[in-house]
Amino acid sequence: MAIPRSVIDLWSSRPTVEGAGVHLRRAFGDVDSRLDPFLLLDDFGSDQPADYLAGFPWHPHRGMETITYMLEGRVRHGDSIGNRGTIGAGEVQWMTAGSGIVHEEMPEAGPRLRGFQLWSNLPASNKMVPPRYQGIAANSIPRLQPVTGAVVGLICGRLFGASGPVEGVASDPLYADIELVAGSVLTVPIAADHNAFAYVFSGSGTVGADNRAVDERQLAVLGAGDEVALRAGDKGLRCLLVAGRPLRESVAWGGPIVMNTQAELRQAFAEYQDGTFLKHGKQPE
């Protein structure tokens, strides 16, 4: 028998400035056992280029993954293992930093920019794997219609008989973009051993067995169970539904580097300073 999940916490994203001066909203950005393995979710978007053009110049990552999902606009990117290109509307960049990568993300001017970046921790056994990049085209993301009035863009994981294009991620995550028309209801299965959250980025509605009201740019942390009900309000609802198997490991987090101990964290920053940080690829010029 299915066990519906309820909302166990709810909060609004908050204005934040990151990178070289990008104005965004942070849905969360802390170590929280209820969100493990996820560490951070940023919601960036503006119709004012001055809010985002400064971008995220060259910076390092180690021990974690960054997942960038674009709704509108374009972001140029490059990294130390030779990837170059742009992330456009509907596209995803799933980057596994592993042992270390240096990259940049620079938005291009346009009528509007909107997207998300999610950070996911790596288990200790994968902290020092070779870095990997998965670039996902918009047309490779399944667009499912499990019930009337619902469209599900499945980036990673398995839902309604389909699989997302992102593969080989340690925490076996689910990442879905769910859009419901006004008044529609969708019940989504979620693995019982996964932590999960829903971030509403357009419209409003209710989430969970307790019919918790969730407004635009609010994040609902989900409790135990193996399914969640999403109900759209009178303006419809669009949200990210994200779940992953918790790592239950110690976390030593310093800026763009996430390790298990403070000694490992200090070593990573020391290596970045002395030029030995990259184990694969080369420092971008």
- Written as six digits, the tokens of 52 are 């985002």
Is a pLDDT exceeding 80 seen at residue 274? yes
The DSSP bridge partners found for residue 197 are 221, 242
Instruction: Assess if residue 146 is contained within a domain.
Output: yes
Instruction: Assess if residue 190 is contained within a domain.
Output: yes
Q: How confident is the model at residue 1 (pLDDT cuts 50, 70, 90)?
A: confident
Pair 135, 198 in one domain? no
Is a pLDDT exceeding 80 seen at residue 244? yes
- What's the confidence (pLDDT) of residue 254? 97
Pair 65, 27 in one domain? yes
Pair 146, 122 in one domain? no
Determine the Cα–Cα distance for residues 31 and 135; give it in Å rounded to an integer.
Answer: 27
Number of domain units in the chain = 2
Instruction: Assess if residue 268 is contained within a domain.
Output: no
- What's the confidence (pLDDT) of residue 105? 97
Give the percent of the chain with pLDDT over 90: 99
Pair 129, 146 in one domain? no
Determine the Cα–Cα distance for residues 72 and 266; give it in Å rounded to an integer.
Answer: 38
pLDDT tens for 8-54 read: 999 999 999 999 999 999 999 999 999 999 999 999 999 999 999 99
Which structural domain, as residue segments, surrounds residue 187?
Answer: 142-246
Contacts (Cβ under 8 Å, ≥6 apart) of 276: none
Domain end among 140, 158, 192? 140
> What is the pLDDT averaged over residues 67-81?
98
Q: How confident is the model at residue 285 (pLDDT cuts 50, 70, 90)?
A: confident
